[in-house]
Structure 1
C-alpha cells in the first residue's frame, strides 16, 4: 500500500510519522485490498485536524477528526476509518 503524508502549517515530526505508519500496517492486516492511504494533517491556531482517505479497490473511504492534539486527531480519524 502506498502511504502519502501531508502536513499543513506545521513540520511533521517523526513520532507522528511513525503513528500514521503503525495505523496503516494495522489496516493492511485488516484488509489487503487497500491500494493507497492519504493522510492530511492541518493545524489552525488551536485546531488540529487529521483526515484519512483510503482507496479500497477504487472506492474512497474518508474520515476526519479534530481535537486540541494532533495525536488524538490522527487516532480518531483512523478509528473512524477502521469502524
Structure 2
C-alpha cells in the first residue's frame, strides 16, 4: 500500500511520519485490498489544548473510507483515526461477504 503524508501549518518529523505509516499499514491485516492512503496532519488554533488533528483517507476498490480525529497529541489522533477505519473496513468486509 502506498502511503502519502502531508502536514499543514508545521513540519512533521520523521518519527511522527514513521509512527503514522506503521499504524496505517497494520490496517492491511484486516483488508488486504487497500490501494493507497493519504494522511494529513494539521495544527489548529494554538490556544486550544486539543489542537492536533489527523485525517486519514483510504482508497479501496469501489470505495473511499475517511476518518478525522482531533486530540492533544498526533499519536493519539492517529490511533483513534486508525481504529475508526478498522471498524469501517470490518463493516465493509462483512457487507461483501453477505452480498
Structure 2 length as normaliser, TM-score? Answer: 0.78
Query: What is the 5 A alignment of 1:2-21?
Result: 2-21=2-21
What is the Cα deviation at residue 55 of structure 1?
Answer: 0.4
Q: Distance in 1 between matches of 2:40 and 2:71?
A: 14
* Gap runs ≥5 in structure 2: 88-99
In structure 1, C-alpha distance between the alignment counterparts of 2:54 and 2:34, rounded to whole Å: 19
For residues 16 and 58 of structure 1, the distance between their equivalents in structure 2, rounded to whole angstroms, comes to 30
- Point out 4+ residue stretches in structure 1 off by more than 3 angstroms: none
TM-score w.r.t. length of structure 1: 0.92
Does residue 63 (structure 1) correspond to residue 73 (structure 2)? The answer is no
Shift in Å, 1:25: 2.2
Q: Show the counterpart of 1:78.
A: 82
Q: Which residue of 2 aligns with 1:38?
A: 38
Number of aligned residue pairs? 83
Q: Which runs of 5+ in 1 are unaligned?
A: none
Larger proportion of strand: 1
Structure holding more helix per residue: 2
